[in-house]
């Protein structure tokens, strides 16, 4: 799934939707894998180019992803 999202330069919101759906299915490792993979891609040139026209959407998507990861860690305690 991660390879497909990367190859298609999927919007951050799409990454979040897939991750949240995995979480709902109690597939927490897949949830984390998707979110951590997109965090690694924040600095990728293609992603920066994709969001050049709408930096606000990038900021909003990035914050949502980081919040999902933080909430997951808190729930794991």
The 10s digit of each residue's pLDDT in 33-47 is 999 999 998 888 888
> Residue 9, by phi and psi: left (phi above 0), alpha (psi -120 to 50) or beta?
left
Integer Cα distance of 45 and 29 in angstroms: 27
Low-confidence ranges of the chain (pLDDT < 50): none
Per-residue model confidence (pLDDT) at position 26: 96
Integer Cα distance of 6 and 40 in angstroms: 11
For 46, the token pair is: 């293609």
Per-residue model confidence (pLDDT) at position 45: 84
């Amino acid at each position: 799934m991660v390879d497909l999202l990367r190859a298609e330069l999927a919007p951050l919101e799409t990454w979040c939707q897939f991750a949240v759906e995995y979480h709902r299915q109690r597939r927490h490792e897949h949830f984390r894998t998707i979110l951590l993979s997109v965090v690694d891609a924040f600095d990728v040139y293609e992603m920066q180019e994709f969001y050049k026209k709408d930096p606000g959407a990038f900021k909003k998507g990035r914050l949502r992803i980081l919040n999902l990861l933080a909430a997951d860690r808190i729930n794991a305690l």
